[in-house]
């Protein structure tokens, strides 16, 4: 397991993405899978940056673990911000036009559709969001 602690800001997204990509490259992860993981990082870390500590800032921990049988990467996002479960919101109705659809929720929907598992818990004063992607 490897982890990185960064400021929960939009400016930290490239650093988090590079950290995770380094682990994925060691696993010879297919490019399509890596792009899906990178999209998920962008969406999930953006949520932390915008909502966890607003208007203040704080830190976020990103942990990368590799599991076997099947080979998968598990990425855990941890922050001490206000409790926020992005999975609780109802999925957007993608059959509606953009004008008819409400704002928000599409990014989380895409994360849920492209990852093999997504879970959230609030424990000991921490938001813990975990994604798993089979490689």
Question: Using alpha carbons only, what angle is made at residue 127 by residues 8 and 121, rounded to the nearest 5 degrees?
Answer: 150
Bigger pLDDT: 37 vs 97:
37
Euclidean distance between CA atoms 89 and 34, whole angstroms: 26
pLDDT in tens, 10-21: 999 999 999 999
- For 78, other C-beta atoms within 10 Å of its C-beta total 18
Question: What is residue 103's predicted lDDT score, i.e. its pLDDT?
Answer: 58
pLDDT in tens, 42-91: 999 999 998 899 888 899 999 999 999 999 999 999 999 999 898 887 76
What's the CATH number for 2-134?
3.30.565.10
Contact call for residues 115 and 74 (beta carbons, < 8 A) = no
What is the residue extent of each domain of the chain?
A: 2-134
Euclidean distance between CA atoms 123 and 135, whole angstroms: 29
């Amino acid at each position: 397991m490897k982890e990185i602690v960064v400021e929960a800001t939009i400016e930290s997204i490239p650093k988090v993405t590079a950290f995770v990509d380094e682990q994925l490259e060691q696993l010879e992860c297919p490019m399509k899978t890596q792009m899906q993981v990178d999209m998920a990082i962008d969406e999930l870390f953006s949520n932390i940056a915008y909502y966890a500590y607003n208007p203040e800032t704080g830190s976020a921990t990103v942990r990368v673990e590799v599991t076997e049988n099947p080979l998968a990467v598990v990425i855990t996002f941890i922050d001490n911000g206000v409790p926020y479960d992005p999975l609780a919101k109802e999925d957007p109705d993608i059959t509606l036009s953009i004008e008819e659809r409400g704002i928000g929720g599409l990014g989380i929907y895409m994360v849920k559709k492209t990852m093999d598992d997504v879970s959230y818990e609030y424990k000991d004063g921490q938001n813990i969001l975990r994604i798993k992607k089979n490689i």
